[in-house]
């Protein structure tokens, strides 16, 4: 069986709770990490102090594609 195609990756800018036990806000998903990083930079410039991360979100066409990549 051929290897499945790798999924497209979206980069999601996220604010976490101060205790890092959950997401407070998801700014949106971007096609490049650099663009998601700009959101984190804006938040920092605005004085946000919550933990911030960029989540990598794979985009699959079907559950079967997802299952093949697990």
Q: Give the mean model confidence (pLDDT) for residues 11-34.
A: 91
CA 39 – CA 36 distance, rounded (Å):
5
Q: Give the mean model confidence (pLDDT) for residues 30-58.
A: 96
Cα–Cα distance list, 1 to 8, 44, 58 (Å): 21, 47, 22
Tell me, rounded to whole angstroms, the distance of Cα 69 from its chain centroid: 18
Run of H or E including 40 = helix 33-45
Dihedral (Cα; 24, 28, 29, 32), 10-degree rounding: -100
Q: What is the pTM of this model?
A: 0.81
Domain ranges of the chain: 8-68
């Amino acid at each position: 069986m051929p290897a499945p195609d790798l999924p497209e990756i979206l980069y999601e800018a996220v604010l976490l709770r101060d205790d890092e036990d959950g997401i407070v806000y998801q700014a949106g998903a971007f096609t490049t990490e650099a663009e998601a990083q700009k959101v984190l930079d804006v938040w920092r410039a605005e004085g946000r102090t919550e933990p911030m991360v960029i989540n990598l979100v794979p985009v699959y066409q079907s559950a079967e594609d997802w299952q093949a990549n697990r």
